[in-house]
């Protein structure tokens, strides 16, 4: 039997200048769904996340709060870890770049390999710097003289920094992306990167002065007057979490591994699709095999963000609606790769109508009928006894989920699953097992009773089969719901508390 190669997955590590918002929850649950999907298919998965602690944004946030950067990133970083746990995200590792002992050696080793390759040099530079993006902007990228994403005015910086020779890798990066050695989904993001690379790559700064960094961050090897640029630092975390440069795990999962997949937002695509591959090429390391690029959560068309003051607290939503209601809304009702507006009323409606109304109600009815009629003391129904049309919908749902995950269109995977749930509800209405149960009890003769009971068993067996397939397919997306469905059906149907209790009033 062929053993599938390992699967290394990361979500992007966010700045911790403030508490996490719903956009961070979106990326975590998307990544978790991908990791769980692979685990369910028997693959060895290593799924990591973390926090980006060494940014100037964090320094400024700490100064605004009259605290130290170390105290701020420790406090806020813990909240990001807590969010992952609250969302039921099954991480294998979580790295804090300011405090994890693996990180500085990884950053320094990566820097030194790029320097040995001749790709690191020092020069004076003047440019417009966006503190929100933590990058210099070209004139062609300005909108009304500022950043398109962040409202803060740009800073005009004039200083001497270390630079990376990005221009040297223009052709290799284009070829890797165009030939899908580095696959980028969705395709429009791939095309966006190819256009950017074709326009010509300029060398970029990979350090900042110690004075401007207020002493916070990782010193440049051999130059204590400079601090490693936050993006060079942050991207290295993907190697640090594997123990680079010496750990066997790094060799297994990066240099000689199967798939190396980064999940990230569209606003940081360039760093992952252009800067990161160039750094890896310079260092003689393997490229990521894939980038999965998600859209933003918006409010009235504007991206959720700390600086815009429209952040949505995910912890409040989790307390009010529960983990799987939040996961379901994020994965099923927000488009995976396009921007989507968040509306709490639609979250409530999705919970009440789809989770509780379609899935939860069907499960309760099936279990109640089995209990009331003493059917299925164990799940011994033959597969051949179940409804072939419903089995066909289940087969299509399996295919739909596989295709959706492969295409990074997770909302389509949930749609395929709930098409099965809807088909099961229609089958329940058509086969009317509650009417069959009444006929069996009121039958005037044994043949009539046997006929009604046989039809009832077939109806319920078909519905149980559909519910079990639903649970199997839901597991990567809604693990708690999947476990709840199976617990009520295996080893035999049992009637318990509703899987989805009524919501509190608005």
Residues acting as catalytic residues: 21, 24, 130, 133, 147, 150, 303, 306
User: Could you write out the three-class secondary structure of 355-410?
Assistant: HHHHHHHHHHHHHHHHHHCCCCCCCCCCHHHCCHHHHHHHHHHHHHHHHHHHCCCH
SS3 per residue for 229-265: CHHHHHHCHHHHCCCCCCCHHHHHHHHCCCEEEEEEE
Burial class (CB within 10 angstroms; exposed 0-12, middle 13-18, buried 19+) of 214: middle
* 287: DSSP letter: P
Please give the Cα distance from 259 to 9 (Å, whole number): 8
Contacts of 494 (CB under 8 A, 6+ apart): 367, 371, 488
Question: Comparing C-alpha atoms, which of 229, 243, 216, 272 is closest to residue 120?
Answer: 229
Helix residue ranges, H only, 90-143: 103-116
C-alpha dist (Å) from residue 144 to 140, 151, 153, 308, 337: 11, 11, 11, 18, 27
Question: 3, exposed or middle or buried, with CB in 10 Å at 0-12, 13-18, 19+?
Answer: exposed
Contact 301, 341 (CB under 8 A): yes
What span, in angstroms and rounded, lies between the C-alpha atoms of 43 and 39? Answer: 5
- Please name the residues in contact with 189: beta carbons below 8 A apart, sequence gap of 6 or more: 266, 269, 273, 291, 293, 337
**Range list of β-strands (E), 22-145:** 45-51, 93-96, 120-130, 135-137
CB 498 within 8 A of CB 364: yes
Bridge partners of residue 264, in order along the sequence: 293
Query: What is the spatial order of strands in the sheet that 135-137 belongs to?
Result: 135-137, 120-130, 155-164, 204-205
d(CA 7, CA 263): 13
Query: Residue 264 — φ and ψ, nearest 5°?
Result: -155, 165
Neighbours of 194 (CB within 10 A): 16
């Amino acid at each position: 039997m062929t053993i599938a190669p390992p699967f290394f997955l990361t979500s992007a590590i966010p700045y911790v200048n403030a508490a996490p918002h719903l956009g961070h929850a979106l990326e975590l649950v998307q990544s978790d769904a991908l990791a769980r999907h692979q685990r369910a298919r028997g693959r060895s998965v290593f799924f990591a996340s973390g926090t980006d602690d060494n940014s100037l944004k964090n320094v400024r946030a700490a100064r605004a709060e009259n605290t130290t950067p170390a105290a701020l990133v420790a406090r806020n970083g813990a909240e990001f870890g807590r969010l992952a746990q609250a969302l039921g995200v099954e991480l294998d590792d979580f790295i804090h770049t300011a405090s994890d002992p693996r990180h500085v050696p990884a950053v320094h080793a990566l820097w030194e390999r790029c320097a040995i390759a001749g790709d690191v040099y020092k020069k004076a530079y003047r440019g417009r710097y966006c503190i929100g993006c933590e990058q210099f902007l070209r004139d062609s990228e300005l909108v009304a003289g500022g950043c398109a994403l962040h409202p803060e005015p740009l800073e005009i910086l004039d200083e001497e920094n270390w630079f990376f020779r990005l221009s040297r890798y223009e052709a290799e990066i284009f070829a890797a992306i165009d030939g899908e050695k580095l696959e980028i989904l969705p395709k429009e993001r791939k095309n966006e990167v190819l256009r950017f690379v074709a326009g010509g790559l300029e060398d970029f700064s990979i350090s900042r002065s110690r004075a401007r960094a207020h002493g916070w961050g990782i010193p440049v090897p051999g130059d204590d007057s400079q601090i490693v640029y936050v993006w060079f630092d942050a991207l290295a975390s993907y190697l640090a979490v594997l123990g680079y440069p010496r750990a066997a795990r790094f060799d297994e999962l990066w240099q000689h591994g199967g798939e190396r997949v980064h999940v990230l937002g569209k606003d940081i695509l360039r760093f992952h699709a252009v800067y990161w591959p160039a750094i890896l090429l310079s260092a003689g390391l393997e490229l990521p095999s894939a980038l999965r690029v998600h859209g933003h959560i918006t409010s009235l068309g504007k991206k959720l963000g700390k600086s815009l003051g429209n952040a949505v607290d995910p912890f409040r939503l989790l307390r009010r609606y529960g983990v799987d209601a939040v996961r379901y809304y994020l994965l099923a009702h927000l488009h995976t790769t396009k921007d989507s507006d968040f509306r709490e009323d639609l979250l409530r409606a999705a919970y009440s109508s789809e989770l509780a109304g379609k899935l939860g109600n069907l499960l309760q009815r099936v279990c109640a009928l089995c209990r009331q009629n003493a059917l299925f003391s164990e799940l011994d129904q033959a597969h051949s006894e179940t409804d072939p049309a419903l089995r066909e919908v289940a087969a299509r749902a399996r295919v739909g989920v596989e295709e959706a995950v492969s295409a990074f269109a997770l909302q389509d995977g949930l749609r395929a699953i709930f098409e099965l749930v809807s088909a099961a509800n229609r089958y329940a209405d058509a086969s009317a097992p509650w009417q069959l149960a009444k006929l069996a009890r009121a039958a005037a003769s044994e043949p009539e009773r046997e006929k009604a009971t046989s039809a009832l068993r077939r109806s319920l067996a078909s519905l149980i089969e559909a519910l079990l397939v639903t649970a199997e397919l839901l597991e990567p997306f809604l693990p708690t719901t999947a476990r709840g469905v199976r617990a009520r059906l295996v080893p035999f149907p049992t009637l318990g508390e509703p899987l989805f209790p009524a919501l509190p009033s608005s």
